[in-house]
Amino acid sequence: MDKKPKIRFKGFDDAWEQRELNYYLETSTEKNTKELYDKTDVFSVSGDFGIVNQIEFQGRSFAGASVANYGIVNTGDVVYTKSPLNSNPYGIIKTNKLKPGIVSTLYAVYHPKKNTFSNFVQTYFEQNARVNNYLHPLVNKGAKNDMKVSNDNALKGDVVFPNYEEQKRIYDFFEALDNLITLHQRKYEKLKNVKKSMLEKMFPKNNSKFPEIRFKGFTDAWEQRKLGESSLYRRGSFPQPYGNPEWYGGENAMPFVQVADVGNNMKLINSTKQTISKLAQPMSVFIPKGSVVVTLQGSIGRVAITQYDAYLDRTVLFFEKFKQETNTNFWSYLIKNKFEYEARLAPGGTIKTITKEALSDFDLILPKVGEQTKIGAFFSKLDNLITLHQRKCEKLKNIKKSMLEKMFV
């Protein structure tokens, strides 16, 4: 077995050492017998967030009447959770990065030895396959899916670690990566909340003809119209039967837009799941790039402005023509807002079905085209920022996933 990772920092070239985990950690027997800690100090262990304060993370304490027999967890101690999670059927191993606290007897607590940078232990076991492969030979599961392994025996599996200095360098790298992921995740969530708020405040509500927030220079009342009075629209179509292989792919095939191809970011996915053959195209409905589409089955009310020419399935509707001058960006957000409003009124908060007649009767309220253009551009820019941070977050997560393989033996 090669004891060197594929990628490592400059200056480190020694082979890593394969040893039992008890070479790096020792079992802690410290208990809260003097009750220095109370229920506000109880920790839980999360697969995604590591060791967390139970009350702060879950909103309440799940501790019993007494916490005197709970184990003390100092900063830097390592905790093994003896309970299954979806991706980790034998439990998880995390390091306490918080101030000292306590955990129930369902957890095993370990002190790091002098040769161990304890935060590295969590990084080492962060990859699901690695922690599962380590724990599987050590753990027997009981009839109630409980873990049959002593605290000491949980340390008897083999690990392959570098020296202390390289442990620290690796951890510092992953901590910086995690901070970047968190930064973009927070920006993404914040922008989504801004968008949600602005969709409420920049469109009139409660039968008003004036929005709560609008751009400078616009003061006119918005005009109420029926959807059928404002636009011409039609469903897509597809030759029957759906499963005929002649209808799909081949030379000169084109994208075929179905419900699953309409994303949550006001765009189609980059590549449709199906393409429609040259033979089937005359029996479908062509939609040019820049068309507004809305889903009418399954996930009803998802809206997109198409970014490529395509053909359309009958489960999706597109707006062929507007009867008055209308900004396409604004129209897409207006329609999305209207469907979300209708969903809130529907039983269970979900629109089960929508007929052409019901759609035609939808009440809409629109400003003049100049204000439409401003609003449409604002939300389009906001969506682009949301997508940017979402993609950065996904890219960083993929980098982390790759490095968790390549920077370890």
Q: What is the CATH number of domain 223-366?
A: 3.90.220.20
CA angle (51 as vertex; 47, 53 as ends), nearest 5? 120
CA pair distance 153, 92, nearest whole angstrom: 15
Please name the residue that has the structure tokens 């101030």: 99
Q: Collapse the DSSP code of 354 into the 3-class scheme (helix H, G, I; strand E, B; otherwise coil) and give the result.
A: coil
- Given a contact cutoff of 8 angstroms between Cβ atoms, the answer to whether 374 and 215 are in contact is yes
> Residue 144: what pLDDT?
67
Q: Quick one: CA dihedral 136, 85, 82, 403, positive or negative?
A: positive
328, two tokens: 């396409």
pLDDT at 1: 58
Q: Which CATH superfamily is domain 164-205+368-409 in?
A: Bipartite methylase S protein (1.10.287.1120)
Alpha-carbon distances, residue 6 vs 2, 121, 126, 270 (angstroms): 10, 19, 18, 33
Domains 164-205+368-409 and 223-366 share a fold: no
| Per-residue pLDDT, 2 | 67
17-161 has which fold? Adenine-n6-DNA-methyltransferase TaqI; Chain A, domain 2 (3.90.220)
Q: What is the CA radius of gyration of the chain?
A: 29
**In the prediction, which pLDDT does 11 show?**
93
Specify the pLDDT at position 298.
83
- Measured N-to-C along each axis, helices 328-345 and 369-406 cross at an angle, to the nearest 10 degrees, of 80
Tokens of 138: 């050590």
Q: Is the peptide bond before 241 cis (omega within 30 degrees of 0)?
A: yes
Dihedral sign from CA coordinates of 63, 68, 71, 76 = positive
pLDDT at residue 154, rounded to an integer: 96
Going by C-beta distance under 8 Å and a sequence separation of 6 or more, which residues neighbour residue 399? 177
Tens of each residue's pLDDT in the chain, 409 residues: 568 999 999 999 999 999 999 999 999 999 999 999 999 999 999 999 999 999 999 999 888 889 999 999 999 999 999 988 889 999 999 999 999 999 999 999 999 999 999 999 999 999 999 999 999 999 987 666 677 899 999 999 999 999 999 999 999 999 999 999 999 999 999 999 999 999 999 999 888 999 999 999 999 999 999 999 999 999 999 999 988 999 999 999 999 999 999 998 899 999 999 999 999 999 999 999 999 999 988 888 899 999 999 999 999 999 999 999 999 999 999 999 888 888 777 666 677 777 777 888 889 999 999 999 999 999 999 999 999 999 999 999 999 999 999 999 9
DSSP state at residue 368:
-
Q: Are strands 310-312 and 254-257 parallel, antiparallel or unpaired?
A: parallel
Q: d(Cα 322, Cα 309) in Å, to the nearest integer?
A: 19
Residues 6+ apart with CB under 8 A from 192: 386
What does the domain layout of the chain look like in residue ranges?
Answer: 17-161, 164-205+368-409, 223-366
